[in-house]
Amino acid sequence: MLILKGIGKVYGIGRVLIVHKLSFWLVAHDRILTNNRRSRWGVGISPICPCCGSEDDTTLHVLKDFTYATQVWIKLVPSDCITDLFSFDCRNWVSTNHNNRRNKDPNSKWKTTFMTNCCYIWK
Ligand SMILES: [Zn+2]
């Protein structure tokens, strides 16, 4: 996170926006530092989610399938799009939500809502 904060200062533009865009890039490319990812480095870390202990700690588990994340998305995504929410792999889930409006308020921008909620769920 120190690196991301530094980039925002160096370029002198909205640090929050840069952090969100870089964080979102990590999500879109399945590169956030989950236990599943760290376990593949052979450093003796369990790939299992430390919160629920029942699933691998993957990007999709953290941001979509974990109980808290699921509750967030169910409140935001219209009921006719809920099936889509739970049927995609990571890349398709991100690209679908990044390119489409999927919320209850037709006047708001779903892309921003989606990116912001991914960042806040990750924190
Ligand atoms: Zn979990």
Q: What is the distance in A from the centroid of ligand 1 to the CA of 69?
A: 10
48: helix, strand or coil: strand
Residue 4 lies in a domain: no
CA of residue 26 to ligand 1 center, whole Å: 19
Distance from residue 2's CA to the centre of ligand 1 (Å):
26
pTM over 0.75: no
Lookup result for tokens 């629920």: 52
Q: Which residues of 97-123 are buried (b: 16+ CB within 10 A; e: fewer)?
A: beeebbbeeeeeebeebbbebbbebbe
Question: What spacing in Å lies between the alpha carbon of 121 and ligand 1's midpoint?
Answer: 13
The C-alpha atoms of residue 51 and residue 47 are separated, in whole angstroms, by 12
Question: Ligand 1 mean position to 71 CA, how many Å?
Answer: 13
pLDDT of residue 43: 87
Give residue 50's domain range.
33-122
Domain membership of residue 79 (yes or no) is yes
CB 109 within 8 A of CB 101: yes
**What's the total number of domains in the chain?**
1
| pLDDT of the chain, 123 residues: tens digit per residue | 334 444 444 444 465 566 667 777 888 888 888 999 999 998 899 999 999 999 999 999 999 999 999 999 889 887 877 777 778 888 888 887 877 655 555 656 787 888 888 888 877
pLDDT at 14: 60
